[in-house]
Amino acid sequence: MKHLFGKAFFKEMLPLAIPIALQNLLMASFRLVDMLMLGQLSGNALAAVDLASQMSFFVDLISFGVSSGCAVFIAQYHGARNLDGIRRVMGCAIVSLVPIGVLATVVSVSFPETIMRVLTDDPTLREIGVSYLRVAAFSYLGIVINSVLSTVLRSTEHVRLPLIASGTAAALNALLNYILIFGKLGFPAMGAQGAGVATAISASVGPLIVLVTSLIRRNILIAPPKAVFRLKGFFAPFWKRSLPAFLNETLWSASIVIVNTIFGHMGAENYAGLSTVRTIENLVFVFFIGVCHSCNILVGKHIGGGDEPGAKRIANSFLVLTPLMGLVLGAAVLALRRPVVDLFQIEESSKAVARSLLLMYAFEIGFRNIPYIAVVGIFRAGGDTRIGFFGDLFVQYLIVIPVAAVLGLVIKLPFVTTFVITQLCDDIAKNLIYLIYYRKGNWIRPVSQIRIDSV
């Protein structure tokens, strides 16, 4: 194990992984508080907001797809000390994502009833979800801008500012939720709609903090517009390499929305239980996010610096670290699943669903996250954005969605049985595909040598 987890590995990994994990832990913790507040209203409020949040999830994943394409370039440019390239990548991301954020906002504000009608056939959930979606839609532009700024900073090893900004925004969101959901400090009790208002306001705070602080410190984000948006001769090669990552996350997130829609038609009490589980999963997942982003940065940096053997060594270490983390985190979930679920004021039938799903999750956390580390942390950092696209497309659309639809809507197996079988099909197929591909060693494809034309 010494060759995998020596002092040099942890010296490189921990300063990156800890702030990124802490950033996401703060956000997930405050989301847990939000869901607990909504659960105090009713299980229907919890399920409805979670369903309506699928639009936010979709926008977030599209942003992550573009940002992942950016990270492919930025980490390697960072290793090659190519500041001009980093700024032009940032320009590509801004030009690509801002129109998506605006479009998603317009669609959600204009057609919230249609969106909720697709997501669930329960009229109560639809009504609550529409009230939330109409106002929460104004968070989407902040989401995409924050994604771009955070990616540039993290990929160049500036991890503290995104941590401070995201933590502040998450804390504000929790505070506003408390005030607006329950009507505190003289404000009216707005219920789920209040949660939407809180989301819209707090989503603008994170990027605002980043931009103001960057102006004061004159960090890498601050550059003349002509240096950022000088995209002629670069936009096409950028998207040629980034498009698979963008399509990967876009189509994957669309498939998750489809699967959630299937689950949303299997009973409000079941979906309330699933929403509870996902809130808890988000808390656990933050540790893998920190590890994955540090993996991406370090693998890309070594490749950009011409050290391919070092990149492979680091990739091996992260792939072994993932299941080891799963053992520790799984034991924690197993020990705490009952008291944590009991914090949620939902029906006992929903709690029973949540406990059953968490039992499965506890035993397969590490196994479930190996594909995530491989695709996002290793393959994309190496410059290979296609394998994740083709692998996820095959598994999600030819295995996961058909299995969920047939078992849940045609055969009509119990919800927990349907979910467990669907998840196992997903995890087994992806692990086989990506581990076999990793062993072939074809994932190192440097992008730092792509020519940037001067104009």
H or E stretch covering 260: helix 235-264
Other CB atoms closer than 10 Å to residue 410's CB: what's the count? 9
**Residue that the structure tokens 């000088």 belong to:** 230
What integer pLDDT is reported at residue 50 of this predicted model? 80
**Banded model confidence at residue 1, pLDDT cuts 50, 70, 90:** low
Q: Rounded mean pLDDT of 228-239?
A: 84
Per residue in 277-290, pLDDT tens? 888 888 889 899 88
How many angstroms separate the Cα of 305 from the Cα of each of 7, 79, 153, 299, 373? 21, 5, 19, 10, 22
**Residue that the structure tokens 């070092």 belong to:** 310
Please enumerate in sequence order all residues whose Cβ is within 8 A of that of 338, keeping only pairs 6 or more positions apart, or say none.
Answer: 355
Say what angle helices 7-41 and 308-341 make with each other, to 10 degrees: 30
**Residue that the structure tokens 């540090």 belong to:** 294
Q: Which of 368, 357, 360, 374 is closest to 318 using CA atoms?
A: 374
pLDDT at 6 over 80: no
Find out whether 362 and 337 touch, Cβ atoms under 8 Å: yes
More confident call, 410 vs 9: 410
Mean pLDDT of the chain: 87
Other CB atoms closer than 10 Å to residue 239's CB: what's the count? 15
Question: In angstroms, rounded to a whole number, what is the distance separating the alpha carbons of residues 271 and 124?
Answer: 13
What integer pLDDT is reported at residue 450 of this predicted model? 52
pLDDT at 433 over 90: yes
Other CB atoms closer than 10 Å to residue 421's CB: what's the count? 15
What secondary structure letter does DSSP report for 250? H
**3-state secondary structure string, 38-93?**
HHHHCHHHHHHHHHHCHHHHHHHHHHHHHHHHHHHHHHHHHHCCCHHHHHHHHHHH
**Banded model confidence at residue 198, pLDDT cuts 50, 70, 90:** very high
Q: Rounded mean pLDDT of 4-20?
A: 82
Per residue in 95-139, pLDDT tens? 989 999 999 999 999 999 999 988 888 888 899 999 999 999 999
Cα-Cα end-to-end distance for the chain:
50
What integer pLDDT is reported at residue 454 of this predicted model? 41
What integer pLDDT is reported at residue 374 of this predicted model? 95
Question: In angstroms, rounded to a whole number, what is the distance separating the alpha carbons of residues 289 and 272?
Answer: 25
pLDDT at 2 over 60: no
Find out whether 445 and 385 touch, Cβ atoms under 8 Å: no
DSSP 111-143: -HHHHHHHH-S-HHHHHHHHHHHHHHGGGHHHH
Q: Rounded mean pLDDT of 203-214?
A: 92
Q: Which of 308, 329, 449, 425 is closest to 378 using CA atoms?
A: 308
pTM here is 0.75
Apex CA 240: angle with CA 235 and CA 243, to 5°?
100
Find out whether 366 and 326 touch, Cβ atoms under 8 Å: yes
Question: In angstroms, rounded to a whole number, what is the distance separating the alpha carbons of residues 306 and 311?
Answer: 9
